[in-house]
Amino acid sequence: MTTPPSVASLQLAIVLPTLNERDNIAPLIQRIEGALGASGWEVLVVDDNSADGTAEEARRLALTDPRLRVIQRIGRRGLASAAIEGFCATAAPYVAVMDADHQHDPALLGPMLASVQAGEAEVAVASRFAVGASTSDWNRPDREKLSGIANSLARRLTGVELSDPMSGYFLLPTATARRLAPNLSGIGFKILLDLLATANPPLTVKDFPMNFSARRSGESKLDRAIAFDFLAGLYDKSFGRFIPTRFALFGTVGVLGVAVHMAILYLCLLAFGAGFGWGQAAATFGAMSFNFWLNNWLTYRDARLERPGELLRGWASFIVACSIGAFANVAVATTLHDYGLHTLPAALAGIAIGSVWNYALSSRFVWGRF
């Protein structure tokens, strides 16, 4: 059977992880065509079920442009996992990942592809901090400073010397990406860091100076949780094989919940004169509500509940799912306190008993990621 010319000429797949980028897709396809020509490439829009109809818009465009394909993900979120799905969905020998918001210049795709094809490096990275690069349009000195700190930590982890390991714009052979995919964490937004930290021996990298532009349309997806994603990625590559990353994140939130628990408990005891049992119950309920909010924001941000109805149902489900643990928490702590154990260790013992139930049941019934 003769291979169709359009398939035989396919060299590069550009993976665009998207969330609410409807108005950016069509003009970005035009810019990619201007950079690469009319053939030899395809675009995979991997959309996290955007509320603005990004997937529908991409499918509409694909009706008349076979170079565009769409993967709509329901119940899964996150740039890193979207990129991995893109790696596994293309037949192109080379794959690039870039943002759909026009902050990454498609004009670099040609030189990056030529460099990797010529064997100059295994990974081509568009860098915001290489000599000749510019971030003047970014207009966020705070993020530039944080990126510099993150880059320093990332270089220590990966053993690769490059100017911008936190870049979201890079290109590599698809076979390399798929070979590494089973060992990637898929957490958060920084897939390049995951690839470089996983590869053994280290991958060779070449930087390409990038003029980092302002977003064309829509709102930035960057928030403070991305810094937590970065730390989670560092943890996963350092200790994730011993304690699963999500469990460690849940536990970290739990530690913060202990502080909330104790603050509410002593407030009830000292300010309101409540008995220990009532104080422990109020503290448990308050800490559970705090833990739900923080876990939804950080631990399960790839399945984050956002709409008011979802949040209310999720909060109620979290309370119900943890009710057995909460009952055990209060019962054990109260019993130990009644037998003379000091307030602090009694409360901590109750928290420890409840934590096992909290993680297992809430993961299964609230966010569905048991």
pLDDT tens, position by position, 297-346: 888 877 778 888 889 999 999 988 877 777 888 888 899 999 888 988 88
Query: DSSP letters along 62-121, please?
Result: HTT-TTEEEEE-SS---HHHHHHHHHHH---SEEEE--SSS-S-GGGHHHHHHHHHTTS-
Indicate whether 5 pLDDT > 50.
no
Q: Is 299 exposed, middle or buried (0-12, 13-18, 19+ CB in 10 A)?
A: buried
Instruction: Over range 253-280, report the average pLDDT.
Output: 89
- Where are the domains positioned within the chain? 5-239, 245-365
Please, which contacts does 27-35 make with residues 24 or more away whose CB atoms are closer than 8 Å?
A: 27/102, 27/216, 28/100, 28/102, 28/106, 29/61, 29/65, 29/67, 29/68, 31/102, 31/106, 32/106, 32/109, 34/106, 35/106, 35/107, 35/108, 35/109, 35/110
pTM (2 d.p.): 0.73
Q: Read off the pLDDT of residues 291-308 as tens digits, 9 standing for 90 and up.
A: 999 998 888 877 778 888
pLDDT at 10 over 90: yes
- Asked if pLDDT for residue 363 goes beyond 90, the answer is no
Q: Which CATH superfamily is domain 5-239 in?
A: Spore Coat Polysaccharide Biosynthesis Protein SpsA; Chain A (3.90.550.10)
**Among 370, 369, 352, which Cα is nearest to 251's?**
352
What is the tens place of the pLDDT at every residue in 18-55? 989 999 999 999 999 999 999 999 999 999 989 899 99
